[in-house]
Chain A
Amino acid sequence: MSARPMIELRKVSKRFGDFQALKAIDLEVAPGEKIVVCGPSGSGKSTMIRIVNGLERHDSGTVVVDGIELRDDLREIEAIRAEVGMVFQSFNLFPHLTVLQNLTLAPLWVRKMPRRQAEALAMELLERVKIPEQAGKYPGQLSGGQQQRVAIARALAMRPKAMLFDEPTSALDPEMIKEVLDVMVELAREGMTMVVVTHEMGFARTVADRVVFMDQGEIVEAAPPQEFFGAPQTDRARLFLSQILGH
């Protein structure tokens, strides 16, 4: 394992108007490491991972991704975005393009890949997420679970070095959650660096190297899953766990 972290946040703060969304966050993610981020709604989870690929700008602190520091230079931000895949809660597939075109768009225009090669790669990825037969359909013709698997494949088509997931299963009907989590577990087995915001604690137990618990813009705890679930250190984490595991 190389010494350089894949993602490094140091004293990262972010405010929206008067509201302090992130308070001096520190986080390092090693290459190949899988992090699960959890915490109550509004605790800053989305803000944190959106800062990693420049969808939000941080006010202070440093963010380094794959050795590139995120500054105001748009070229550097674009370079980072090409290396970091992102999967959204609401899929955000391009509805005017077919599944295949959704997957080839960025390889064609950002990576300047020949079309035949981009399409071969897209088909290979659709095999991996187990929906090659949907290549010619439009996103509106697919189920939620299928759409999210296409979204994962679309991000993978850029051959990213790390993947960010923002609550990838919370917009799905219960019977579709498993098909998406299966794809993510598979991806983790292949060694992808992953930061996953999720409340799927089963997934966290199987896959995570560390669970990061956030509350009110701070990282309150960060520990391997057995430790975090077995012996949470803070009242805030105990309360949160009792709420999502309890009932």
Chain B
Amino acid sequence: MNEKKAILQARQIGKYFHDPVTFKVLDNISFEAYQGEFLTIVGKSGCGKSTLLYVLSTMDTDFEGELWIDGQNISRWSQDKLALIRNEKIGFVFQFHYLLQEFSCLKNVMLPAMKLGKYSLEEIEHKAYEKLDLLGLKDQALKPASKLSGGQQQRVAIARALINDPLIIMGDEPTGNLDSRNSKLVFDILRDLTRTYHQTIIAVTHDNDFAKNSDRTIEMEDGKIIHDGFVRNGNIIV
């Protein structure tokens, strides 16, 4: 393997919740995610996976330790600067769909690119159609988001996460609402992105097959990393 570039680094990340009692939800989390890597995070329900992902996504700034993204320590950055980073470098797929219900699927996909303002409206529209096509939703483009099924909405959300060609795509159970066929489709798309465009995927999942087929899996328990290993032939190697 050639020289790996760390796109995201977590350094001794810790986090507390105080309600109803103070407890440490993340405890000394350290790892690096490399360019073009397909990383999955697994663990029992309530072990802190979503919490960790919110920290990594820069949306949650209330944590200890350091978070580096694309070579910059963004741990103390202002909300506005973080928003720019998210817009440009990070794409999200949430645990539940989360589209803007009053907008068409196409508009939903276009919004982050319109915010970024790097391309003209026509180019953005063209790209949005491409992404929707990739996820098998081209014919649904002009429907309002509220008229789509849960699985369709989730795929639109994935298309939206891809629109700005982000360095990192994060997903909290990105295939949680999908049947096995679509699950496979999404997995293949994400894998393709890591291979062709060297984008990094960090996905929380409960789906064992999904984890097994990824490049590397981090296992959590009670806010700690208990296992971090590369996947070879479906087995995690330390």
Partners in one complex: no
